[in-house]
Structure 1
């Protein structure tokens, strides 16, 4: 049987269909989260949330609740809780580093003292794409709507915040509140991708499409659309390749997304103003939002 014939047979299986749907849903939300991560310069956030997710998974296994749901809740609370410490981009990175250290220490201590099998917790960090459940698809579906929805709803404020935090503050943007929303979305998105690629390879779905999109787009809207488009192509192509040649999907997705990002950076940079310039120079800077 040819490799492509094998793909057709595998696509008849329900777990494979769920995995494919999950990757498609992820492509509409997670690359947009990558735009936030790159724009706010908070690369450590994905590592911090990976460790927080492990802590939530350990708690779930200890008390007998769904580990992934516990990981999602833990990441959401951590994202909201760390925001007040993030007065600057450097402060945010520092807070994430502290959170990462405390979370992994607490998770390892809990696993050691409780006698819970650590293999199940750590397995989720590596991902198990064929173990995607309907509940995971619901989470990814919500993210696929919520994340782009926030960008559409607060596009101008986001453009200012991702360009310059102080400028956004002076322009009347509710910086602290918007930062909390973004951090919660980032945290939940990282946790939501656990079963697809594992937290260790979540960059394939978030950061790498965003890096390529920032090179190709000239406005926040175009960057966001590029990120989603690249995410869809990478996820579909990477998944099909992994099925055709019986390869682990996570590494294939990373390599495919990395190849696109590298190719995008080999394209000569356009001599045009970027969205960062237009965000600061645009005459349509948003008026201060009402506090009532």
Structure 2
């Protein structure tokens, strides 16, 4: 089987085409949003929102509503509860996040255990990428376009908020409104990625692409291009690997992203561990005494000959 057949064979199945489409849409949206989450330091917030949507999905199933509606409502509820606890008590933000997302996630698990269902609701937790229907694909495309549109329209304001909220406030922008807007997009994006990798792995798609791009460039404009490109490439690669190895598609997508991050972490030309090690060795060699730098095998042998004559 040649490379063309390897690429085209999975596309003969409709479920694979839908899986690839959903994965790419989710990967691009998550990749763009992850740039801001990494810069602001909202990794834990992404984890909180992605887990907190679980009860909303289950309740939406119970009443026969689209999953996205319930997930979006509970994502916004989680954000509001975190802000309420943080602003009205001595509890710090990280503790508030932990309290809210674990409680809501546990509530979702309880709902799953008591809800009679002909479908396996555990797919919500672990993802069911190969079971995506045409209606799910349309839903993901609409929500993904909405989230991506908001990010692109407000990218300048959000970037200033990420780098210098004080300056943003000084020129008339409201950091609180921008924060609320970004959190709303985060909840919307979590719903999009939910269809691809499930509740548990959504946070990986929201963080890994931005973190990878952050190690590859010092310019935010390039980050916004590198992160979604890497995320989409990993999504496609992961699905193809899962097809031929018969593994979980969502898990393989995230695992591919993790492998790419590891390679960039080690070998990035500017910020990789190996590059830093090489630079440190060069600095040490340049700062060494002149006599030490001039040492050579010939000099060592001459020193030994003099010692023998002595």
Q: State the TM bucket, normalised to the shorter chain.
A: 0.7 to 0.9
Residue 136 of structure 1 contacts residue 192 of structure 1 at CA under 8 Å; is this kept in 2?
A: no
Q: Which residue of 2 aligns with 1:156?
A: 156
Equivalents in 2 of 1:44, 1:153: separation in Å? 25
CA pair 204-5 structure 1, distance change in 2 beyond 3 A: farther
CA pair 150-221 structure 1, distance change in 2 beyond 3 A: farther
**Secondary structure of the structure 1 residue equivalent to 2:121:** helix
CA pair 3-162 structure 1, distance change in 2 beyond 3 A: same
Equivalents in 2 of 1:60, 1:147: separation in Å? 21
Equivalents in 2 of 1:136, 1:61: separation in Å? 14
* 1:126-155 Cα distance to aligned partner (Å, 9 max, x none): 001011123332333234433443343223
| Higher CA-based Rg | 2
RMSD of aligned C-alpha atoms? 2.9
Q: Which residue of 1 aligns with 2:218?
A: 218
Residue 144 of structure 2 contacts residue 192 of structure 2 at CA under 8 Å; is this kept in 1?
A: no
CA pair 158-67 structure 1, distance change in 2 beyond 3 A: closer
Q: Which residue of 1 aligns with 2:257?
A: 257
Residue 147 of structure 2 contacts residue 188 of structure 2 at CA under 8 Å; is this kept in 1?
A: no
Residue 239 of structure 1 contacts residue 249 of structure 1 at CA under 8 Å; is this kept in 2?
A: yes
Equivalents in 1 of 2:269, 2:97: separation in Å? 34
Equivalents in 2 of 1:220, 1:85: separation in Å? 32
Equivalents in 1 of 2:233, 2:167: separation in Å? 35
Equivalents in 1 of 2:134, 2:8: separation in Å? 22
Residue 32 of structure 2 contacts residue 224 of structure 2 at CA under 8 Å; is this kept in 1?
A: yes
Q: Which residue of 2 aligns with 1:126?
A: 126
Deviation at 1:121, TM superposition (A): 2.9
Q: Which residue of 1 aligns with 2:170?
A: 170
Equivalents in 2 of 1:128, 1:53: separation in Å? 16
Q: Which residue of 2 aligns with 1:235?
A: 235
Question: Normalization by structure 2: what TM-score?
Answer: 0.75
Q: Which residue of 1 aligns with 2:66?
A: 66
* 1:166-213 Cα distance to aligned partner (Å, 9 max, x none): 343334321111111111111121122122111212244321111111
CA pair 231-115 structure 1, distance change in 2 beyond 3 A: closer
After superposing the two structures, state which structure 1 stretch, 221-230 or 167-176, moved more. Answer: 167-176
Deviation at 1:40, TM superposition (A): 2.1
CA pair 149-84 structure 1, distance change in 2 beyond 3 A: farther
Q: Which residue of 2 aligns with 1:184?
A: 184
Question: Normalization by structure 1: what TM-score?
Answer: 0.79
1:269 aligns with 2:273: no
Q: Which residue of 2 aligns with 1:106?
A: 107
Q: Which residue of 2 aligns with 1:288?
A: none
CA pair 118-137 structure 1, distance change in 2 beyond 3 A: closer
CA pair 262-105 structure 1, distance change in 2 beyond 3 A: closer
**Secondary structure of the structure 2 residue equivalent to 1:198:** helix
Q: Which runs of 5+ in 1 are unaligned?
A: 271-292
